[in-house]
Chain A
Amino acid sequence: MEENSQGKRVDRRVFLHTGVQLAFVAGLGGLTVLVARRAGGEGYVWQLDPAKCTQCGRCATSCVKTPSAVKCVHVYAMCGYCDLCGGYFVPDTKILDTAAEHQLCPTKAIKRTFIEDPFFQYTIDEDLCIGCGKCVKGCHAFGNGSLQLQVRQNLCDNCNECAVARNCPSGAYTRVPADKPYLLNEPGTGNGPPQKTEV
């Protein structure tokens, strides 16, 4: 049996080999079709929803980049241009000046410029901003909430798994379509504030 089946055994091996190859082609093709039905063209980027953000400070520490790709973004259209800015000054400040000890920002990344009495413009220096969200918290607690944390898409590496998203306690991070890469809370953008349900 051994001798006369020698040729046949090789044939069987080749046959099996081809069969498995075809099975792999079919399997991979099927998987591609299954997945491709849901494939989207443009791809995604990571972004955080300021309405869910609790300003816990992890954006500054969790990002794989140093400093973080998350920055404070100022929506000027929402700003009240207050003299006493809750995002700029530490609480209970009496003297409203630009002295370092009165500033909330740990890196002094907010620039305060006089516009006209009694209004001041606050500008974020994104090279200095570390995305800690201290000013955002202050602005939301005492002001209009015009300071908001956002992933700066020109800085973001767009990791396959965002390390900040993983550590975000409030689940504010989602993948958003790359053609709409920001989720700012602006008047008239449709990203309206969450409606209060019950107290």
Chain B
Amino acid sequence: MILLILFSWQLTSAFAIQRFPKPEFESGYITPETLLPTPRANVLEVMDVAIFLIAMLLVTWAVLNRRSRKLVFWISIFSLAYFGFYREGCVCSIGAIQNVTLALFSGSYAIPWTVLVFFMAPLLFTLAFGRTFCAGVCPFGALQDLIAWFPRKIGPKLNAILGIIPYIYLALAVLYSATETDFIICRYDPFVGIFRINATFSMFLFGGGLLLSGIFIARPYCRFLCPYSVLLNWISRFSRYHLTITPSVCVQCRLCEDACPYEAIEKPVTVKNPKSRRTIVRTFMLIMLLIPFFVLLGGWTGSRLHETLAMVNGKVRMANELVNPETINGEPESIEMTAFKASGKPVSTLYEEASGILHQFYIGGWIVGGFIGLIIGGFLASRLVTRYRTDFEPNRGTCLSCARCTDYCPIKS
């Protein structure tokens, strides 16, 4: 123990001691400068934002005004090349969720303007025009769109069930960035390795697997994982000018029925099946009971899991290792532990920090769990309600505004 203290003392004091004074050279030797290359210029970041906004405008124009799949395709190729392979997928709107959350909850982090624009612009565009961002600006979407060669339908029920995953992902991403633990969206980013052409094996496996499945299930990341899609989905449902399949009237020709690889076209439901007032009241009551029940159940489950969730946090993990040394008995001391001991930070400070973080996770667990419960409850409730429509329409939430269906519609003006 004494040895350890002495050793750590030596390590920290190494900075303080100039053991060997700088020699005074007689040969006229000039000490070279330590070169410090600068990061990417801020002007280029501003240019990124400008290109981002121009691409959004262009693709929105191509979708809503030109109604041209071809144009959308070429814009998406550009976005894939620029935001994907040139900018290597970072920073992106999906990941920016975490920066915004961190800026809200952390006292020290100031979000760069560029990141804020990357987060906000697609949301505002979606509120006005639908998810045109997904159609041609997001490099992830563009990459998956390219390889959606043989799209198979998986049915509305499975679609809806898998569609719950993004909500869970979003909730966890917000929880982990609000507690300053981790950016899980970036950590488990499947495609950034492809953009860099350099990835760890697990990332390569995950990204490659997603891409392969994307040949048959179009855009699996966008539909069943992307946490940003949750925000876009909700906002798009209330968008002002959304893409329509037909430019004027639907003639019910059913040509577009199988046009959408993302199963986002809603078929007409015209056969009214009038329900008695009693059934309606009963359904309503059931929904009103169902949702709070699921919220409470989810919240309770989340709060039960808060210690498990918090183990992702480095400080909590360290404190746990100190409290329960027997759990790692026999194994060599972790590098983290060695570093912690070398830092000379008192253990009590660490415990205090860790218990503070645990408390945050307890509250966060309730919120995250309640939110997921609400989503599951809402999903079940939506099964109980029938919506009537007369025409073939894109589902405003899940439609990615890729403009494929417009080519199928025989009405051209």
Contacts and interface: CB of A to CB of B under 8 A. Distances in A.
B331 interface: no
Given A73-B34, A170-B342, A115 B25 contact: yes
B32 interface: yes
B39 A156 contact: yes
A171 B37 CA distance: 24
B39 A170 contact: no
Given A35-B111, A40-B111, A170-B343, A157 B38 contact: no
A160 B183 contact: yes
A102 interface: no
Nearest to A195: B16
Specify the main secondary structure of chain A where it touches its partner: loop
A51 B343 CA distance: 10
B87 to A, nearest CB: 9
Given A54-B338, A65-B198, A154 B14 contact: no
Contacts of A166: 182, 187
Interface string B92-104: 1001101110011
B36 A181 contact: yes
B183 A116 contact: no
A80 B14 CA distance: 14
A42 B42 contact: yes
A108 interface: no
A169 B339 contact: yes
A58 B15 contact: no
A197 interface: yes
B88 to A, nearest CB: 6
A193 B16 contact: yes
Given A21-B240, A116-B29, A38 B98 contact: no
B13, B22, B98 — most chain A CB neighbours (10 Å): B22
Given A28-B123, A39-B103, A115-B29, A143 B19 contact: yes
B114 A43 contact: yes
B18 A154 contact: no
Contacts of B27: 115-116
Contacts of B31: 76-77
Contacts of A65: 196, 198
Interface in B299-358: 314, 334-336, 338-340, 342-344
Interface residues of B, number: 76
Interface string A157-196: 1111101001001110001001001101110000001111
A181 B344 CA distance: 27
A145 interface: yes
B47 interface: no
Contacts of A79: 22
Contacts of B18: 78, 80, 144
Interface residues on A, range: 35 or more
B150 interface: no
Contacts of A39: 103, 110-113, 116
Contact of A199 (B5, B116, B199, B342): B5
B11 interface: yes
Contacts of A31: 100, 120
A17 B237 CA distance: 9
Contacts of A104: none
A185 B42 contact: no
A5 interface: no
B45 interface: yes
A160 B99 contact: yes
27 contacts: A28-B124, A28-B127, A38-B110, A41-B112, A42-B112, A44-B112, A54-B338, A64-B196, A65-B198, A73-B34, A77-B22, A77-B31, A77-B34, A80-B22, A115-B29, A116-B26, A119-B23, A141-B10, A152-B37, A157-B90, A161-B182, A169-B336, A171-B314, A178-B42, A181-B36, A195-B16, A197-B344
Interface of B: 5, 9-23, 25-27, 29, 31-34, 36-40, 42, 45, 88, 90-92, 95-96, 98-100, 103-104, 109-116, 120, 123-124, 127, 182-183, 186-187, 192-193, 196, 198-199, 235, 238, 240, 314, 334-336, 338-340, 342-344
Given A38-B111, A39-B116, A76-B32, 16 more contacts: A21-B240, A28-B127, A38-B109, A76-B31, A115-B27, A153-B40, A156-B39, A160-B95, A160-B96, A160-B98, A169-B335, A169-B336, A169-B340, A178-B39, A196-B12, A199-B9
